[in-house]
Amino acid sequence: MPAPLTFDGRVVLVTGAGGGLGREYALAFGQRGAAVIVNDLGGDIKGGGRSSAAADKVVEEIRAKGGKAVANYDSVEDGEKLIQTALDTFGRIDIVVNNAGILRDRSFARTSDVDWDLIHRVHLRGSFLVSRAAWNHMKNQKFGRIIMTSSAAGIYGNFGQANYSAAKLGLLGLSNTLAIEGQKYNIHCNTIAPTAGSRLTETVMPPDLVQSLRAEYVAPLVLWLCHDACPENGGLFEVGAGWIGKLRWERSLGRIVRQKNESMTPEAVRDAWSEICDFTDASRPSSIQESLQTLVEVLSRVEDERGIRANPTGATAGTNPSSAVGQTLPEMSFSYTHMNCILYALGVGMSTREPDHLKFLYEGHEDFSCLPTFGVIPALSAMTGLGSVPDLNIDFTRLLHGEQYLEMFRALPTSGTLTSRGSVADVLDKGSGMVILLDVHTYSEGELVCYNQFSVFIVGAGGFGGKRTSQKAVVTAAPPDRAPDAVIVDQTSRDQAALYRLSGDWNPLHIDPSFAAMGGFKSPILHGLCSFGFAARHVLKQYAANDVSRFKSIKVRFVKPVYPGQSLQTEMWKEANRIHIQCKVKETGDVVLSGAYIDLHTDASVSGGSPQTGGLQSDLVFAEIGRRIRDAGQELVKKVNAVFGWEISRDGRTVREWTMDLKTGGGSLRSGASKADVIFTVSDEDFMEVVKGKLNPQKAFFSGKLKVRGNIMLSQKLEAVLKDYAKL
């Protein structure tokens, strides 16, 4: 049975806690270990009078049950005094429940200035002042929970409550903004619209209904939303009678009612009214960025003289995005010269001010090299190919780049023509959107150079009933719980995004101020893959002396944007050949790249020449196995039903690990060790001899060249897999 929710060590302020819902919240928090500030002015429901009796009584009830509580009799308009009571008595403030309220119901025509102002002062301004007084304390301790109390009258309107309705919906807007601003400080703000018997509701409800809608049916939601373990932030909930429901906005598909170079008229609005109000294929925007993205699309479609597409944010009716898994994209070629390599190096912050950067900036350098992360550039065009995949129906204005993985199998040539082959590895339904895992293998003259996995999120395209997770995804990894082993800080230039985009990412979000503003940004932002390049070269410098042959792979999750001119701070933790990294904006502390790491080769095991002479020959075999698993994984899973682990050694040391999962889903091959049914240890050279048929696996086992741990009988199935799918 799960452990009960407790609030030991937490300090809670509940306003309007002398009776009704506030009293129930205070008692519940006190019973579960919190120290409670019971605030109540002691006035009547219209805001008149004051008394300490109500708050004192609730404090006595909490203490009588062994809890900790103190009374406060100040108005919520004196927010600082309420918070000071918490600090003086208990030394901190963790949770604020803005519950205090009054009523002055009048029909709109009879509402006086006093009726309007007093309601807003208590409900909206009071919640603002109390929350603001607690805000910096919550920021400094990196924890806070705030509850705003709205109402069904605020959400839907109610006769005779214009003043009350306006204030209550205003609280929702305040709460949504605090949820956004507080997210990075672990401050969560949610809104409830409770229906319960109280002094306020008895004026608008029959007495028997007031008695049935008990406050104790609301308090459990408030306690859960305020608990450390609750991830909810920015939510709106109706609650009452033991029922809880979450609300969200819905927007019709709408209709463009103007044409290029023509005036917009009220007649056009009239004629399109039924379509404007038709909620078929409606979208559900959840942020101002999502709202503005539709307008950006409209501008583009007016310019191209097109209409709004049906349901731009969701899976089109009758389609199944999951059926896109395994679809291959058209093969793409990318030709480049040394100039592209140099331009990319400049784009990710390299400079002639640093002598060791010259090998990446001067084609005449004796060790002229291409940065490994340039490997994402030839693969980028594969994302545009997603638009041609049946059943995906991607709206590229809603595409966000979530994660990136890059693995090198040989050093990139400094010029030439590369060929990339992309395929849809998996499609996931995250509810609020769709995640597409796009695998891209890039070849030079038929030899595998690098492998990219793009993880892209399509906002609003979820809800098609697909799975939520995939074993084919290359996963992120948290850094060790200690101070970083090394830190490098680089200031980006004001023109960093303008320079990086010349490598092929032409999104106007990174150069056009008006376009950036439509996306909710104060100015154009830096490309995520530019920050990716900065972090990678920091590791290359710190731990590999800028030797590109040491670079094996990199995995990152993109978290927040960087503005050109800000400083990127890369924190590094070394764990064997893996360098965990976290990249921040130094000026703000915002994390830019998280769950990130770079794997290095122990020695120069990747070269610019033939993989057979410099790198692990087995890398190419496993790359081919991985490609074939993606093509025919389900058939292999039925045939094999096992997980195999590989430890590839060279010079007596393990230098590479692989996990071949032919047991779950559609099968997968991933770098690194995982739980396996059987594990094989073999040298790179002997592995190739087995694959080529020159060395019998049984002879290799009995001679000690092939070591096996686990269910040895499964090796018979693996032999068939290698013969069928690992030919070079």
Q: Is 552 exposed, middle or buried (0-12, 13-18, 19+ CB in 10 A)?
A: buried
Tokens 């030709």 locate to: 335
Q: Position of tokens 């060395």?
A: 695
In 3D space, the residue among 381, 372, 388 whose CA is nearest the CA of residue 333 turns out to be 381
CA pair distance 324, 353, nearest whole angstrom: 48
Q: Do the beta carbons of residue 403 and residue 556 sit within 8 Å?
A: yes
Question: Could you give the dihedral angle defined by the CA atoms of residues 149, 152, 156 and 159, in that order, rounded to the nearest 10 degrees?
Answer: -110
Task: Report yes or no: 624 and 726 within 8 Å, Cβ to Cβ.
Answer: yes
Give the span between the Cα atoms of 582 and 488, in whole angstroms: 11
3-state secondary structure of 338: helix
d(CA 538, CA 490): 9
User: How far apart (Å, rounded) are the C-alpha atoms in residues 659 and 685?
Assistant: 19
Task: Tell me if 311 sits within 8 A of 281, measured CB to CB.
Answer: yes
Paired tokens of 529: 């893959």
Contact 295, 254 (CB under 8 A): no
Would you say 334 and 420 are in contact if contact means Cβ atoms under 8 Å apart?
A: yes
Q: Which of 171, 226, 212 minimizes the C-alpha distance to 5?
A: 226
Q: How many residues does the chain have?
A: 728
**What residues form DSSP beta bridges with 707?**
681
**Active-site residue, 164 included:** yes
630 token code pair? 């993606």
Cα separation of 599 and 560, whole Å? 23
The b-or-e profile of 498-537 (16+ CB within 10 A means b, else e) is ebbbebbbeeebbeeeebbebbebeebbbbbbbbbbbbbb
CB 559 within 8 A of CB 498: no
Q: How far, in Å, CA of 550 to CA of 410, rounded?
A: 10
In angstroms, rounded to a whole number, what is the distance separating the alpha carbons of residues 717 and 522? 58
Q: Which of 25, 73, 164, 563 is catalytic?
A: 164
Residue 171 exposed, middle or buried by CB count within 10 Å (0-12, 13-18, 19+): buried
Report, as residue numbers or ranges, the catalytic residues: 164
